[in-house]
Amino acid sequence: MVGVYRISVVALALNGLIAACGAGDEGVSRAPSTGFPQGGANAGAGGAAAAHAGGGMNGGAGPEASGGANGSQGGSGGSAGIAGAAGAASGGMAGVMGTAGMGTAGAATAGASGSGAAAMSSGCGKTGALTGAMQAEIMAFELMRGYFLSVPEDYDANRPHRLVFGYHGSNYTGRMMRQYLDNEKPPLADGTIFVYPDGLPLPNQPSNVAWVLTDGERDLVFFDTLLEHLKTTYCIDESRIFVNGQSFGGLMTNAVGCLRGDVVRAIAAVAGSGPRSTCTGQVAVWLTHGTDDMNVSFSSGEGSRDRWVAANQCMDMTEPGEPMQCQNYVGCDPGHPVIWCPHTGDGGHQHPSFGRAAVRAFLASF
């Protein structure tokens, strides 16, 4: 049940480029067999005041309060990623998504969503919904929660839109994550509504703003409440709901994809780990992780990959993907690919140079 919400329009421009996020987003204890963290996330390095200034968009240093990792790890991987191989990625993704591996965008869409028919939400046909970029609040789990919403100026209440959630890393905000993820560009921007939730201080870690990954707790309830509100307010294609996040936002992305796989179509996680739960439903998956990630171990990223490969019943073999850093797992359930994009010397804990364009192409292919 959606509670009280408030909306206030804010300026679209942000002064300067925003830094990368999520240093120290994983606990120090990990299960050796899977690479997944044990117990509560964020018990480890950088938890007290993880620094985000500079690393990622423009490569400046971002010292952490604890943990010894340098917040600027791979920081230069930021803005360059916007240029990516957008055209190549858009075409190359099709062969992965189509059931028969057809190398066309049409085949990709058909393979991902079956008949291709939109599932229109109850907000379709309603007039008067606000458009543009705005900060808003909604009551969820008896807490007032903030989020940043971006609705196309040409929004059509009779056209079902994709909905993309963007989750931030530790001590970041949804508004800042909008800049970092840079999803609001072709080919994804057309016909898409974007929402960037704001985290809260973690229980027992008041200086660490992040996400509780447990089903039934505040942040999964926040996802459910916000999703329901947006579906009843805007015309959403309920078969095309996506989640993207980096660092602790990558952990949250994996958690939402797992626990809400019956409503989420696909996820894209950057430098994350998990999921740690028994999953519901099934999602298509795109993952990237740096071998030189100093904040969330590469083995944790491999653990995520292996978890999704098993969930989507892929074979233990890959074929070259697009961009060339990516590996497409073979034999996955139709419409549920797993794409794994490791990188070295290209951002460390941050989005790699090819990452943003590849995520946009992946999500837009559904």
Question: What tens digit of pLDDT does each residue of 64-81 get?
Answer: 232 333 333 333 333 333
Q: Is the pLDDT of residue 19 over 80?
A: no
Our measurement of the distance from residue 75's CA atom to the centroid of its chain's CA atoms, rounded to an integer in Å, reads: 19
Q: Name every residue whose Cβ is closer than 8 Å to that of residue 74 and which is 6 or more positions away in sequence.
A: 55, 56, 290, 292, 293, 345, 346, 347, 348, 349, 350
Q: Is the pLDDT of residue 122 over 90?
A: yes
Q: What whole-number distance in Å separates Cα of residue 78 and Cα of residue 54?
A: 10
Q: For residue 83, what pLDDT band results from cuts at 50, 70 and 90?
A: very low
- Residue 68: how many other CB atoms lie within 10 Å: 9
What are 174's two structure tokens?
């949804």
Asked if 283 contacts 217 with a C-beta cutoff of 8 angstroms, the reply is no
Q: What's the average model confidence in pLDDT over 145-161?
A: 97
Provide the residue type at 68 as one letter: G
Q: Answer left, alpha or beta for residue 225, where phi above 0 means left and psi between -120 and 50 means alpha.
A: alpha
Structural domains of the chain, ranges and CATH numbers in brackets: 82-364 (3.40.50.1820)
Question: What tens digit of pLDDT does each residue of 20-61 get?
Answer: 444 444 432 233 223 333 233 333 333 333 333 333 333 332
Q: Is the pLDDT of residue 92 over 50?
A: no
State the pLDDT at residue 117.
Answer: 79
pTM of the model as a whole: 0.74
User: 117-121, 205-209, 215-219, 314-318 — which is least confidently predicted?
Assistant: 117-121
